[in-house]
Amino acid sequence: PISAGELLCLGSSVAFSGLFYYLYRRKARLAARIQEAPKLRVDDDLPALVSAAEGSCLSYVALEGIVLPAKAALSSHHHEDMQGVIQKLLLKEHRLVWNSLAWSW
């Protein structure tokens, strides 16, 4: 005979396994989209390509070319010979709603 505690442990284990598998598959699909991103060159045709895209935005593209940093290049902590730059930083603010019960935004 199986006790109620064992059934509870089994049920929670199956539920957590399902949740973590769902999260894993979601992140795997996102990683696959990033891996399949089109590779574009940084040249004079890029602004026209961006403005022709829907919403003047290209999602998940890999840019290839030479760029110069505005101040200093970013160095990788894991690979000392790799450097990179941030070309544009996009900040998206979500609407804040006051929670009167918790007295917070």
Residues 68-84 pLDDT 10s: 777 888 888 888 888 88
β-bridge partners, 41: 64
Amino acid identity of 39? K
4 pLDDT higher than 70: yes
Sign of the CA dihedral running 47, 53, 55, 58: negative
Q: Quick one: 2 exposed, middle or buried, by C-beta within 10 A (0-12, 13-18, 19+)? A: exposed
Tell me how far the alpha carbon of residue 79 is from its chain's centroid.
21
pLDDT for 69 equals 79
What's the predicted TM-score (pTM) here? 0.46
Convert the pLDDT of each residue in 27-82 to its tens digit.
999 888 888 888 888 888 888 888 888 888 887 788 888 777 778 888 888 888 88
